[in-house]
Chain A
């Protein structure tokens, strides 16, 4: 079974631009969560989607948004990029049933804002 995939793997943008990152969960997983990882703040939760609905949200400004499609694929968007948005963005998916709550992570998208 294929793992969580994220595209693109690397991205370079300039301040003020916007960016869209994509995540495809493991087949059959309906929950997708997004995290931001930076050297200073570590791993921080952005939001979680389940069945196309945002179920949880972290403490990030409104410039960070996401959505989930009917096939469980998810996208996150960051508008008006700032230098501090440079980070590794990780997506994780979770199965249903007895293994619910265990999260499986993708390789991440490395975003650099210049």
Chain B
């Protein structure tokens, strides 16, 4: 059974700092990994999707890496801003012969960027 863990559970950093969020998973037979952002009481916003054959993906100030063999992914946020404050979730999708199959989510990292 796939288990996804995110460390740390909560993080507070001053504005402008670069930071790294960690995600680990127990079963390396994944199809892809997706990072999401969730604001309080809201739905999930997709940030980055990394296919199992890829090593990293970048979007603006965000960079996500994937090391499938070690079961790890990191989300790097450069020059953090107060607007980045949210909960960040990683989710893995197991290999499937069909189209979309279920995501297994991590527990999330609650990020607060202070002024």
- Minimum CB–CB distance from A85 to chain B (whole Å) comes to 18
Q: Which of A45, A50, A101, A107 contacts B43 (CB 8 A)?
A: A107
Q: Which residues of A contact B49 (CB under 8 A)?
A: 101-102
Closest residue of chain B to A58 (Cβ to Cβ) is: B102
| A56 at the B interface (CB under 8 A) | yes
| A74 at the B interface (CB under 8 A) | no
Question: Are A31 and B45 in contact, CB atoms less than 8 angstroms apart?
Answer: no
Closest residue of chain B to A91 (Cβ to Cβ) is: B43
Question: Are B42 and A108 in contact, CB atoms less than 8 angstroms apart?
Answer: yes
Task: Give the contact stretch, choosing among B20-28, B62-70, B92-100.
Answer: B92-100
Closest residue of chain B to A56 (Cβ to Cβ) is: B102
Q: Give the docked Cα–Cα distance between A4 and B44 (Å).
A: 11
| B41 at the A interface (CB under 8 A) | yes
Closest residue of chain A to B45 (Cβ to Cβ) is: A105
Contact count A vs B, C-beta below 8 Å: 68
Question: Are A50 and B98 in contact, CB atoms less than 8 angstroms apart?
Answer: yes
Indicate whether A33 sits within 8 Å of B102 (C-beta atoms), given known contacts A101-B93, A110-B41. yes
Q: Place the interface of chain B in its size category.
A: 20 to 34
Shortest Cβ-Cβ A-B pairs, 10 listed: A94-B100, A43-B105, A45-B102, A105-B44, A107-B43, A31-B100, A105-B43, A100-B99, A108-B43, A102-B49
28 A-B pairs within 8 Å (CB atoms) are namely A4-B43, A6-B43, A31-B99, A33-B103, A35-B103, A35-B105, A42-B107, A43-B89, A43-B91, A43-B103, A45-B104, A48-B100, A48-B101, A50-B100, A56-B102, A88-B41, A101-B31, A101-B93, A101-B99, A101-B100, A102-B32, A102-B46, A103-B46, A103-B100, A105-B44, A105-B45, A107-B42, A107-B43
